[in-house]
Amino acid sequence: MAEFYTLQNARDWQLDPIAATDIETRLASYGFDQHTVSMEVYVQAREAFSIFEALLNSTQLRRLLLLKELNNFRRDRSERIFPRQPAQEGLSPTEISLTARR
């Protein structure tokens, strides 16, 4: 029940200027200002922020691993289609290509 009233007060604070003034007056009488309320919200949500950050980091890691795997797949595929010729010592790239045509 308390959660319901808290949510209702938060919505009133956001949408109704008269209610916002009343709520801010009540908070000020207890020694709370906007900064204190914001910091308390952050402290209470810190665990959720940590979980969200961990999820973002793991997603980024999976994305990088997938890109690396795709790059390896493309490189392997291109090497099967166009196999590399072993380098012949003392020949220039032009001479190697001419030798490969014979």
Per-residue pLDDT of the chain (102 residues; tens, 9 = 90+): 888 888 887 888 788 889 888 888 988 999 988 888 889 888 989 989 999 999 999 999 999 999 999 999 998 888 887 777 665 555 566 655 555 555
Q: Note whether residue 97 is domain-resident.
A: no
Q: Note whether residue 90 is domain-resident.
A: no
Task: Report which residue type is found at 93.
Answer: P
Contact 17, 31 (CB under 8 A): no
Q: Note whether residue 87 is domain-resident.
A: no
Question: Cα separations (Å) of 86 from 40, 75, 95, 97?
Answer: 67, 17, 13, 11
Q: Note whether residue 89 is domain-resident.
A: no
| pLDDT number for residue 70 | 93
Tally of structural domains, the chain: 1
Q: Note whether residue 91 is domain-resident.
A: no
CA proximity to 100, closest of 82, 75, 77: 82
